[in-house]
Amino acid sequence: DSGVTQTPKHLITATGQRVTLRCSPRSGDLSVYWYQQSLDQGLQFLIHYYNGEERAKGNILERFSAQQFPDLHSELNLSSLELGDSALYFCASSAQRGGIHEQFFGPGTRLTVL
């Protein structure tokens, strides 16, 4: 158990809908990262938040957004869903910013768009 929790574990929805994925980092960790894992694209970095502020964006679509709240939990919002958005979404946390710190991954949320 990494100490990172993600809810829900599974989500099934229809095209055009909007969903929110939630991540609670390990106690005390200030950084939260979101990743998408699909069969054809592998693991892709989406976005990084540190202590409530957006720090870096990766391959995140404009239909997707995220935020980190004062209690440090984070939410990833996916809107106007398409079939291709079906994937595993992971969040990870680390103590601080920077390359020196290891990340702890949650168990993931499996999103299925029908």
Closest distance to other proteins from the beta carbon of 102 (Å): 4
Per CB under 8 A, residues contacting other proteins are: 2, 4, 33, 35, 42-45, 48, 50, 55-56, 58, 90, 92, 97-100, 102-108
Closer by beta carbon to other proteins, 2 or else 77: 2
Closest by CA position to 5, among listed 84, 110, 109, 114: 109
* Residue (of 88, 8, 80, 78) closest to 41 by Cα position: 88
Nearer to other proteins among residue 25 and residue 106 (C-beta)? 106
Report the nearest approach of other proteins to the CB of residue 23 (Å).
Answer: 11
Q: What is the dihedral of CA 15, 58, 89, 55, to 10 degrees?
A: -120
Which of residues 48 and 113 has its CB atom nearest to other proteins in the complex? 48
- The separation between CA 5 and the C-alpha centre of its own chain, rounded to angstroms, equals 11
How far is residue 54's CA from residue 64's CA, in Å, rounded to a whole number? 14
Residue 89 identity: Y
Please report how close the Cβ of residue 78 comes to other proteins at its closest, in angstroms: 19
Please, what is the minimum distance in Å from the beta carbon of residue 31 to other proteins?
A: 8
